[in-house]
Structure 1
């Protein structure tokens, strides 16, 4: 069995993988699909004449009517979208049917891309299933033969297993939501504060539900979490560690809330 450790790619590698495929699955976090999409990847695919399907993962955490609203928002942009919960194995057959319906030709080669933490590897595993068969490495530049593997997932349908994790860009909030390791953020307190504000706007009970902490001031919430966890050094609260934990908790879904198109003024 071919096992590949997921790693951050660069856009050159993604472009190289894209050139071998004729259908691109861009995996988004269903809780915040607008922030976890990459316009750069979509523009790159468009410039190469490659069709993009948006796949909102973690759909078990979002009401179906909100997911359908997002599908409509993307449809108005000319993009096809669907949703799935790879973790709960919800919508996997629907995704396969969707891929076969949208494939521009057969045999079809599918490339899966996405920011860290959106569940790209889970989607790949769902599509591979138990009956997938590894073929030869994709031919091309020598560097790609070690990193890109082609799997047959069913008759005339192939999957590129590749380092398709999109490089993280944006401001502190975007970088946190898009899966930048909290340890690598220059200012985790700023990122966590913005994340708390976003959570409180979307769901006023989200912070209390996650931590048993009431209030609306992000810094006070971070300080209270540090106090509750006993994160103190030299008499000072370790607020940076508390901030990093809040970001981690968002990705493990302990801190859980979702963004609807209405929250961003994208639908009536």
Structure 2
């Protein structure tokens, strides 16, 4: 997986007219890049925060998160690039923010927030290849200048590095599950986070009613038939990787309610 350096990110922001920051609406405050936002402000660039994956949360949640972020002084819109929800409105919003023509917009964001999907939706066809898992085929390989329409261009960047989301986001977004030397601790932290907001998440995803992270991984390994060849113990490492993958694929129902935000 190729990730953008801060130097590359700064160069991208400097050379575009509008900065489009894509965040995951399931946990928008954790998937925002404060450092990138400060760069955009320092370079006097128009910044639009795009709350992507809005199909994964109730409408009232999307609207409230948008109001919260708008109250911080940002331009904001919620969309679902995957389902092409509000992508036409997004295109109009970006054009409205640009004060020159032709103009370019730079798409930034943490890995797996849906940057390439946003560009594909704006282009109206499959432009940049997409994949839901960090490090897998289809990951954006480098800077690309993509034509959206006459006079409107977008620069697609690899994911921001370092991921600022803290534990476990910095681990599960920054590396492929297969590349994690020990996926169990970050998966356990992720499970705890998900259960904090949805006690039935793993029952919905896997039919598992347990509430302990390690028991959930063990039961998933047993259900899938994953065992160590020598000891016949459940192979919880594979279960951990699966849970991380399924989190990226939105197979596990989860979102942070805006009521949790304290400012």
**TM-score greater than 0.5 by the shorter chain:** yes
Distance 1:51 1:34 in 2: 20
User: Structure 1 regions of 5+ residues with no counterpart?
Assistant: 1-5, 133-145
Q: Tell me if structure 2 keeps the 8 A contact 1:55–1:81.
A: yes
Distance 1:79 1:216 in 2: 38
Structure 1 residues 161-214: Cα deviation after superposition (integer angstroms, max 9, x where no partner):
3x3321134543122553532233354212111211121121111110001111
Alignment counterpart, residue 111 of structure 2, candidates 99, 116, 120: 116
TM-score normalised by structure 2 residue count? 0.86
Runs of 4+ in 1 over 4 A off after TM superposition: none
Instruction: Output the aligned Cα RMSD.
Output: 2.2
> Secondary structure of 1:33's partner?
coil
Alignment counterpart, residue 160 of structure 2, candidates 166, 171, 174: 166
Q: Tell me if structure 2 keeps the 8 A contact 1:172–1:187.
A: no
2:260 corresponding residue in structure 1: 263
> Secondary structure of 2:90's partner?
helix
2:131 corresponding residue in structure 1: none
1:193 paired with 2:193, answer no
User: Structure 2 regions of 5+ residues with no counterpart?
Assistant: 128-140
1:136 corresponding residue in structure 2: none
TM-score normalised by structure 1 residue count? 0.84
1:42 paired with 2:34, answer no
Distance 1:151 1:197 in 2: 40
2:78 corresponding residue in structure 1: 83
The correspondence of residues 90-239 of structure 1 with structure 2, limited to 5 A, is 90-129=85-124, 147-161=142-156, 163-167=157-161, 168-176=163-171, 178=173, 180-233=175-228, 234=230, 235-239=232-236
Distance 1:40 1:214 in 2: 39
Q: Tell me if structure 1 keeps the 8 A contact 2:111–2:158.
A: no
Q: Tell me if structure 2 keeps the 8 A contact 1:54–1:81.
A: yes
Structure 1 residues 5-60: Cα deviation after superposition (integer angstroms, max 9, x where no partner):
x8322111111111210111111111111111111111111121112111111111
CA, structure 1 residues 62+177, in 2 after alignment: closer, same or farther (shift >3 Å)? Answer: farther
